[in-house]
Amino acid sequence: VNKRCIFIQMSQMFKSPGVIIASMFIANVGGMTGMVSFPTLVLMFQSAWDLNNTEAGWVSGVYFAGYVIAVPILTGLTDRMDPKKIIIASMILGVFASVAFALWAQGIWTASIWRFLQGASFAGTYMPTLKALSDTLPESKQNRGTAILTSSYAMGASFSFFVTGQLGAVLPWQTAFLLLALGPMLGLFLTFLFLPPSPAPRQSDIPSKLDFVSVFRNKRAFAYMVSYGVHNGESSIMRAWIVAYLVFAQANLAVEEMFLDWSPAVIATVANLLGALATVMMAEMVSKVGRRQIISLIMMTSAVLGVGLGVSLWGPYGISLVLVFVYGAAISADAAAINGGVIARADPAIRGQTMAMHALFAAAAAFVSPVVFGFILDLAGGEQSKEAWTWAFGATAAFIAIGPIGLFI
């Protein structure tokens, strides 16, 4: 009897909202270990494969091309089938793509294939997990669960920066990338063990077809989709180019500033960790300040900070370093508020399809933005030019303005 009671208690503990949220947070972080692996070592790859900035931006951004293609299908299917099955299959794809990059990537096009598949894997984990939590968590836990899981995006990018930087410093990049496959393997195990199956939808609630037209007719949800595209475009630029930016900034260090000569990968890790914390904090502020207001304030702040990063190259490196940390926090701070907005305003019968389009906007912007940023860098003088960095960040600020405008039209 005692053994049976212990088993029941353990079973109930595994199904508790806190355990589900925590385990899926870790699973998503693990699934993202390869996300910024290429940008972290971008200068090494540029030298080894003779890539210009536009080509390097392409390989960084093509991850999100895979996401763009896969996310409408994989997230849309969560209205019809258990998201857990989609997540598990996508984690398996993530393991394969990471191993394949390590074994067979030899230049821009082969690297693009495996980065594309890594992005497709992410398409089947992040948004489907949000959908699974909205299906299985009590309503009182959904807002916080969404915020915590959303913060896994910044945490996952931080982990990817840190682990890739540390492994790349002591191992051949092929070995480092093989080891990164352990992340989605962990995510696969945690998803299988801790994520409960979603309740089966009633037959009458299953849409007869993927109806994305109805999604776009929901103007309030559409506004958050546009904002999420802006958010992810800016985030993708940050993650694709921040290491190269810091390498250039550190090349101009004065002797008295050498104590600030921390590894760019470590700095990027800390900046993204601050973003994960800011995501949860700002989600808690939504009920006090207002969702649209807090999102707009964060976006305008990050636009100003981005311009400041470019201008700061003319000043002491310490200013650039501080701005990177603050900018990293600001970029991620609005993510949970935006995701919560689209979930709250989606038609429950097609919530999966709404989230699919939400993710599609984000992925399209995340794919294009690093390429455009790299093109502007090349056009304005290259990554060794202060003016080029300022022009590129200035263009990013103009792009960010679309978000607040869209929310209030």
Give residue-wise pLDDT tens across range 201-232.
555 555 555 566 777 788 888 888 888 888 88
What's the Cα-to-Cα distance from 82 to each of 128, 274, 373, rounded to whole Å? 9, 33, 38
Task: Return the pLDDT at 10.
Answer: 47
Neighbour tally for 176: CB within 10 Å? 21
Q: Which of 87-91, 213-217, 278-282, 394-398 has the highest mean pLDDT?
A: 87-91
Evaluate if residue 352 carries a pLDDT over 50.
Answer: yes
Evaluate if residue 5 carries a pLDDT over 70.
Answer: no
What span, in angstroms and rounded, lies between the C-alpha atoms of 332 and 305? 13
Question: What's the distance, CA 93 to chain centroid?
Answer: 18
Task: Return the pLDDT at 177.
Answer: 93
Q: What is the mean pLDDT of residues 265-273?
A: 84
What span, in angstroms and rounded, lies between the C-alpha atoms of 215 and 261? 49
How much of the chain is in helix, strand and coil states, percent to nearest 5?
85, 0, 15
**Where does the pLDDT of residue 12 fall: very low under 50, low under 70, confident under 90, or very high at 90 and above?**
low
Lowest mean pLDDT of 90-104, 228-242, 338-352, 384-398, name the range: 338-352
For residue 176, what are the contacts with CB-CB under 8 A and spacing of at least 6?
Answer: 37, 102, 164, 167, 168
Question: pLDDT of 65-120, one tens digit each?
Answer: 898 889 888 887 887 788 999 999 999 999 999 999 999 999 999 999 999 999 99
Query: At which residue do the structure tokens 């200013």 appear?
Result: 319
Task: Return the pLDDT at 84.
Answer: 92
Token representation of residue 376: 């502007």
**In 2-81, alpha helices (H):** 2-14, 17-31, 37-40, 42-49, 53-76
Residue with more model confidence, 186 or 289: 186
